[in-house]
Structures are given as C-alpha cells and as structure tokens.
Amino acid sequence: MALDRWIALVILMISLAYGYTAFFTMDEGLPPFMKFNAIWPSTFPKGLSVMAVICALIILLSPQKADAGPKAGDIDYRRLLDYKLGQATALLAMMVIYALALRPVGFLISTVAFLVISAMILGERKLHILIPIAVLAAGVVWYLVQQVLGIYLRPLPFFMGTGG
C-alpha cells in the first residue's frame, strides 16, 4: 500500500474516534435549555469528522495507479532518512516548548521567541528583518484576541505584574 493510503488509513481511524466522541459523548452534559438550540457545541466537530471520513475513504478506495516510481517533488518513503528530519524534529520540539511556555512566560515573549527560533531552524538568518516581523505579528494577534475577541491572554510573565 502506498504511503498516501497509509496516511489516509490513520486519518480515517482518528476521525472515526473523533466522530464517535462528537456524535455520542459530547452532548451528554448539555443543560436542558441548550438542547433546543439549532447549533450545539458538537455541531462543528460532527461536520469535521464526517468530512474527514469522506476524504479518507476517497483516498483509500480510489483506484491505484501503476507505480512508475517517484516523480520530481514527491516524497519517497524509501529514502526517508535523506530528508531533513532534524529540522522537523526541532520544530516539533519547539511547538511543545511553546505550548508549555505560554502561561509562565506570557504570550508576547513566548510567541516572539517561537517565531524567531523556528525561523532560524528553517534557515532564516536576517535577524534585522525577522525580529520586528515576529514582534509585530505577536502584537497584532495578541491585540485581536485580547481586545477584539475579549479572551484574556497574559501578555507578559506573571512577575511583571500583568495579573492572572
């Protein structure tokens, strides 16, 4: 079986479990007044799981083409170690560190650090361009989430007197 079919099979299993949760367990704790609403908290997860199952089944059940070898730009899973796995692993580690640093370090500092370090891992070396863009992007996202949406995000570390 080709790599895309294996990935589709994994996505199918995940979306089936997600769909089971959305259809059978998410709405049990709803208060009675919400059960008469047209849209429930599980509406989007239900639609998402159904679409993911349909897409995965389309990939799994579509006819296989004769394998003429990998084309230019295709990922050859037989040569997986030739790719830059170190960069991919470092980015995954950065995502975990970023998620763990959000509360204690604050949104602005952790987001700027994540963007700058991740871009450097990917090969960007122009720090005079990279740092202002990261600061601007983090500031705009914080402003939109905090002020426009009204969701509190601690902008700076707790010891700097930002509450929370």
39: alpha, beta or left, given left = phi > 0 and alpha = psi -120 to 50? Answer: beta
**pTM reported for the whole predicted model:** 0.56
CA dihedral 45, 47, 52, 54 (to 10 degrees): 150
Dihedral sign computed on CA atoms, order 111, 117, 120, 126:
positive
- Rounded Cα distance, 83 and 142, in Å: 35
pLDDT tens for the chain, 164 residues long, are 677 888 999 999 999 999 998 888 887 777 777 777 777 777 888 999 999 999 999 999 988 776 666 666 666 667 777 778 888 899 999 999 999 998 888 899 999 999 999 999 998 889 999 999 999 999 999 999 888 888 787 777 766 665 55
For the chain, which residues make up each domain, given as ranges?
3-70, 85-160
